[in-house]
Structures are given as structure tokens and as C-alpha cells.
A and B are shown apart, each in its own frame.
Chain A
Amino acid sequence: MDVQQLAFEKTVNVFINSLSNYFLKLTKKPIKTYAPFVKEPEDLIMKECTGMIGISGNKKGLIYISGDMGMFEDLIKQYVGLNSPTANDMLDMAGEVSNVVAGNVRETYGHEFMISIPVVFKGTPDRLKFPDDVPIYVIPMSWNGHEAFMVVGIK
């Protein structure tokens, strides 16, 4: 494994820790993550509901958190206390999860690690943007019976 790949995998672990902390702290239920794998952007198939954050400053790239509506519905019921969330509420929650996961990474990378406001979408868009020459890691996860994944493409 070369030095660049090792550094990238350390970055991926920082995001995994942030994602784990989010669900455990708010729901008292841990996530389970599975072995990350590399994927080309054109081969990515997103789930029903995705939140995306752009990264700039001392790192450049994007992260996506993608899950089925049911996962975000469950999270809203447990955390927000809303019993009948709408599809827009679930998309908003996907954006908020991605915002918090990316924002918490500043504890490691400092204030020069800049994050965008969330962009949310349903299904797989025509084109997913990533910086050139960046390995794109897909980190599968499950939480409370729901399967989801986080995609990290950062340099």
C-alpha cells in the first residue's frame, strides 16, 4: 500500500468514526460498517434518499450518505419526535446527517476544512461529480435493520 493510499484510508476512518458517533449518540444504537470498496463514479447506484456535502479548503472532494426512506423515517421518529414524516422531511434528514458527519470532521482537520450546505436528492442522478484522480470509497453500513452507505471521495 503506498503512502497516498494509506493517508486516504486514514481520512476514510475519520469519516467512519464521525458517522458512528452520530447514530450512537442520538439513538443509542450503534451502526455496523462493512469493508470499504473502491468504485468508479459512473458505477455508483444511490439509494432512495441522499445527502451530499462538498469539501473545500485543506481537502477537496465530496461525501454522500445514501439510504432508503425507511432509515431516515426511523431516525426522524427516534430523534426528532415526528411520527409521520413526509418525503421532504426524510430528504432534509439525509442532508442534516451528511452535514453533521462532515462538520464533525473539523475536529480532526481544523477550520480550514470547509463544508458546503447540503444538497439532497432522490435516487441516482444522471451524473455524480468527484474530483479527478481521487479514489472513491464506498462504506456500506447498517443501522437498526436498515442498510445504507457513505461514499467518500476526497484529496
Chain B
Amino acid sequence: MKLLIVDDSSMMRTTIENHLQNYDLQIVGKASNGEEALQMVIDKKPDVVTLDITMPKMDGIQCLEEIMAVAPQTKVMIITALSDKYTGLEALKKGAREYLYKPVTPEDLKEGFDSLLNRN
């Protein structure tokens, strides 16, 4: 399974990579903004994307809309500090399959990822 990690924090990209090491994943890219992420989705066709929202150039909500337009089968898990219900619902309506609030523990990530993989 191909994974793309998107977060403007390099430490969060490393955290997500380290905490998902037990899954059979091929990390096909890491992006620090929505524009880079969209290009990587087009070029590398990941099965799963972990997507931050507050990012430069293109935020995660706009990026999610663009991903759903070009690759609607992609499973997107939002991982964001924005902990209000409105933003979570907006992301789910726009096609995200999971929504995790930072700060995320390794257990949160595994639970969210398992839930994402077990859904049709």
C-alpha cells in the first residue's frame, strides 16, 4: 500500500512515518504544502494520504477537494490541530475518511489508520 504524508512540520512528517512503521506501507512521498501534495498524488498515485490542514500555499481542505477531483479513490486521513467540529464535518463531507485531532499519540494514529483500512 502506497502512503503520502502531508504536513508543513518536518517533525510531524517524521512522527507519522515512525509511528506507522509496523504497517506494510511504501512511503511514496512527503509534502509540506497542498500544492506539492496534489502533484505527488497525480504523479505517485498513493492509496492513502495523511493530510494536515493549516499549511502554506494550499491548505488541506482545498487540497482534499483537488485530490477528490483527480483521484477520488484515495483514502484521506486528516491529521490537524483544528479541533472544532465544523472543520471536521467539512472535511468528512468533502471526502476525507478519517479525522484525527493533534496532538496525536502513536495509539491514536494506529487506531485511525486501522479504521481507515477497514472501511470500504
What is the interface of chain A, defined by CB distance below 8 A to chain B? 21-22, 25-26, 76, 79-82, 85, 88-89, 92-93, 95-96, 99-100, 102-104, 106-107, 110-111, 113, 115-118
Is A80 touching B102 in the complex (CB atoms < 8 A)?
A: no
Q: Which residues of B contact A107 (CB under 8 A)?
A: 83-84
Given known A92-B9, A115-B54, A117-B55, contact A104–B15 (CB-CB < 8 A): no
Residue in chain B with minimal CB distance to A90:
B11
What's the least CB distance linking A57 to chain B, in Å? 11
B27 at the interface (CB under 8 A from A): no
Is A79 touching B54 in the complex (CB atoms < 8 A)?
A: no
Q: Which residues of A contact B18 (CB under 8 A)?
A: 80-82
Q: Which of B41-64 contact A (CB under 8 A)?
A: 54-56
Q: Which residues of A contact B103 (CB under 8 A)?
A: 21-22, 25-26, 100
B87 at the interface (CB under 8 A from A): yes
Instruction: Please report the C-alpha to C-alpha distance between residue A97 and residue B110 in the assembled complex, in whole angstroms.
Output: 21
B10 at the interface (CB under 8 A from A): yes
Instruction: Please report the C-alpha to C-alpha distance between residue A99 and residue B80 in the assembled complex, in whole angstroms.
Output: 9
Q: Which residues of B contact A92 (CB under 8 A)?
A: 9-11
